[in-house]
Structure 1
Amino acid sequence: FGELWQRRTTIQVADGFDYELLGIEDLVRAKKTQRDKDWPMIRRLVDAHYDRHQDTPTPQRNRFWLRECRTPEILVRLAAENPDAANELALERPLLLAAVQGDRQTLECELEAERLSEMEADKQYWTPLRKELEAMRRDKRNRDGG
């Protein structure tokens, strides 16, 4: 997250408040957590970005959509329109092979497996950090006499 935060954009609005903004790619990456409620948001964010920009695709946008899209119909369409990119990106996201083949049923299963894998990875990342924070809290309570 620190790396993503370094790439943020800060804007100041007329009322004097500063707002810290993440780009769509970084926001999607940051939302890949173990919380169930984040995954529908990822789908909506990528789908909305696709809906807004599908008439003006760029290689960068196509690659982003192929890497992050969670909607089978859109993935199948993108893979059909960009088979070289889809096959290349399948090395890092194997479910794209099902998209290239137009196999929506397999794609849905693989999207769910991908979600569960990402959630588990996030859990594994945070488990030792939570333990460390809990130990720090206990130490502070003990020092404070509480």
Structure 2
Amino acid sequence: MSLSPIPKVLSTIRAHGVEALLMGGQACVLYGAAEFSRDADFAVLASPENLDRLSAALAELQAEVIAVPPFEFQYLERGHAIHFRCRHPETFGLRVDVMARLRGIDPFPELWSRRTTWELPEGFQVDSLSLPDLVASKKTQRDKDWPMIRRLVEVSYDEGFSSPTPEQVTFWLTALLTPELLDECVRRFPAEAGKVAEFRPAIAAALAGDMNAVRDALAVEQARERELDRQYWEPLKAELEALRHQRVRDA
């Protein structure tokens, strides 16, 4: 994140004491799995005090709500993303999205307790989702998210290969999407893999030495998560459509 509007957004959020966790593409940049992202996405604590701090930070960034829904507690609580566009000269045109609930992810206080804190070259800190939580948040119906999940876990596997912690081994066994790496990881850690195999068919297939079954199981996993995400967003999309129609009628 060199010369870009992102540091201004991150430092402003931090300066106002907002309990916010960077997620999305910018978090992937920090974890070494992406080179560029055009916006900034945050998970936030949906408490009145924290939303007041967030409002102050967004006001400093001259950020205005775009599209629907409006920036209100009730929509954050139901799982909507609120979209903003910055007008501050240092961040002009940058989009900022905030959410308070993520599908299939623990409530914010638990995410906060597991957060990763980064020291940025610009001289301040930023909090992000932990790597496992970031990976979980990327399990959507969008095609672009699945290669990013693969890359995030592969980077973790490469970086921790020589001396992994037990937590890393469990994460790899539950999150690797690359058949060959998953097979390698199972062979390196058979005892741990045996425990994960109880709830991840791809691991059971790798333990059995059936790579075709591994690939099939991974495809089923992805299809299941895509469908769960579609079901989660279906009523929320319907609500957004109703809000758009209401805005047109009130115009």
TM-score normalised by length of structure 2: 0.52
Cross-structure match for 1:107: 214
Structure-2 change in CA distance of 1:12 and 1:64 (3 Å):
closer
Q: CA deviation at 1:103?
A: 1.6
Cross-structure match for 2:196: 89
Cross-structure match for 1:138: 245
Cross-structure match for 1:45: 152
Q: 2:142 aligns with which of 18, 27, 35?
A: 35
For the pair 1:59 / 2:166, whether they are aligned, the reply is yes
| Structure richer in helix, relative to its length | 1
Distance 1:75 1:47 in 2: 10
- Alignment coverage as a number of residue pairs: 144
Q: Residue deviations 1:88-130, cap 9 Å, x none? A: 2122212210111222121112111211111111111101111
Cross-structure match for 2:178: 71
Q: CA deviation at 1:138?
A: 2.1
Q: Which stretch of the first structure deviates more once superposed, 132-141 or 92-101?
A: 132-141
Instruction: Name the SS for the 1:95 alignment partner.
Output: helix
Cross-structure match for 2:234: 127
TM-score normalised by length of structure 1: 0.85
Instruction: Name the SS for the 1:138 alignment partner.
Output: helix
Distance 2:121 2:190 in 1: 46
Distance 2:220 2:121 in 1: 45
Cross-structure match for 2:23: none
Q: CA deviation at 1:75?
A: 1.1
Q: Which stretch of the first structure deviates more once superposed, 35-44 or 101-110?
A: 101-110
Q: CA deviation at 1:84?
A: 2.4
Aligned partners of 1:4 and 1:26 also within 8 Å:
no
Q: CA deviation at 1:14?
A: 6.7
| Structure richer in strand, relative to its length | 2
Q: Which stretch of the first structure deviates more once superposed, 83-92 or 57-66?
A: 83-92
Distance 2:178 2:121 in 1: 38
Structure-2 change in CA distance of 1:79 and 1:14 (3 Å):
closer
Taking only aligned residues, the RMSD between alpha carbons, in angstroms, comes to 2.3
Distance 2:243 2:165 in 1: 48
